[in-house]
Chains A and B, each alone.
Chain A
Amino acid sequence: MNQSAVVQAEIEPAESPLTPESWGKLGMWVFLAGDAMSFGALLAGYGALRYGSADWPHPSSVLGVGLTAFMTFLLICSSVTMVLALDGIQRGDMAALRKFLALTILGGVSFLAMQAYEWTHLIHDGLGLSGNPWGASLFGTTFFIITGFHGAHVTGGVVYLSCYLTRSLLGGLKQGHASEIEIAALYWHFVDLVWILVFTFVYLL
């Protein structure tokens, strides 16, 4: 290494290369980037349809924000329990991993139960895919598609984490599997991140 290369390395350390252990993480990030574009396209389409409609109902008055604000709180809590589960396996504390994984799954299941309650209530009030009593028919269409797409992701996450919890209970998870839990955590945090945006754009704005 010549003198200038040494100086350069001191000023700007080389980025750590992606290792075989991190290839799974790279794969998950690429998947999440593609998924983010799906959500982004749905939200951009929602914005265009809403702006182009003269009789779009005001979401917060129709949908109500109390329950969904609590659902947001629940997902944030589940993200915290997920990082604590990851911290547990990285320290080799498998009991902490199991406890916090179970709490994360509980948060996801509770979120889905509340979403089912919300949907049932709204459908009973007349909100449908093809019409509603409050204005533009696409209001219901976009609402069900966006929240349904997100709900499907939460369901997938619950199944994904349940597989790891089962594996851990059967003794198949060791400290060396921390990178697998880290990858699963990435997916769960992404679901939380997307809900933060859905909550703002679909319920509050």
Chain B
Amino acid sequence: MTQAHKPPNYIAIFWWLLALTILEVGVIFMPLARLLVAILLVGLALSKASLVAMYFMHLKYEPMTLGLIAVTPLLLCGLLVIALLPDLSGPPHQAAGMPAPPAAPSSP
């Protein structure tokens, strides 16, 4: 932390993280559309990650330079996902020429 500031209420952040984690686990058991579940889970995970970065890693109180360094991998990963989109545009497939997976556990 480069500047003096009032430390955040770490225990409050802990309770938020705990509540969001419980909510995440609850979401997968809710009778919701799969897409909606995915959107909720990603939103909750990003909220939790933001809380950790902003308050535990003190990014909220740091100079803009460190914030830009932290955001760069997010942008690059976003670009990577966009680059992968053409491969994901087709229907799910099984590798050609590959046998169907076994129905029972294979013996060691």
Contact = CB atoms under 8 A, between A and B. Distances in A.
B97 interface: no
Contacts of B88: 48, 51-52
B33 to A, nearest CB: 14
B87 A72 contact: no
Contacts of A41: 77, 80
Given A126-B106, A133-B104, A182-B1, A193 B77 contact: no
Given A51-B88, A131-B101, A133-B105, 4 more contacts: A43-B77, A51-B92, A53-B93, A55-B94
Interface of B: 1-3, 7, 10-11, 13-14, 17-18, 21, 24-25, 27-28, 37-38, 41-42, 44-45, 48-49, 52-53, 56-57, 63-66, 69-70, 72-74, 76-77, 80-81, 84, 87-88, 90, 92-94, 101-106
A112 B1 CA distance: 30
Nearest to B25: A69
Interface stretch (A14-22, A149-157, A161-169): A14-22
A79 interface: yes
Give the 9 A-B residue pairs with the shortest CB-CB distance, closest first: A40-B77, A126-B105, A200-B45, A36-B73, A133-B105, A54-B92, A189-B56, A37-B73, A193-B52
Contact of B70 (A29, A77, A84, A132): A29
Interface secondary structure of B, over-half rule: helix
A197 interface: yes
A76 B21 contact: yes
A116 interface: no
Nearest to B21: A72
Interface in A105-135: 125-126, 131-135
Contacts, number: 144
Interface of A: 15-19, 22, 25-26, 29-30, 32-34, 36-37, 40-41, 43-44, 47-48, 51-55, 60, 65, 69, 72-73, 76-77, 79-80, 82-84, 87, 125-126, 131-137, 182, 185-186, 189-190, 192-193, 196-197, 199-201, 204-205
Given A30-B69, A54-B93, A182-B1, A200 B63 contact: no
B88 to A, nearest CB: 5
B49 A65 contact: no
A165 B105 CA distance: 45
Nearest to B89: A51
A185 B73 CA distance: 20
Question: For B27, B44, B66, B87, which residue has the most chain A Cβ atoms within 10 angstroms?
Answer: B66
Contacts of B76: 37, 40
Contacts of A22: 2
Contacts of A76: 14, 17-18, 21
Given A44-B77, A196-B45, A205-B38, A80 B28 contact: no
A25 B66 contact: yes
A55 B69 CA distance: 38
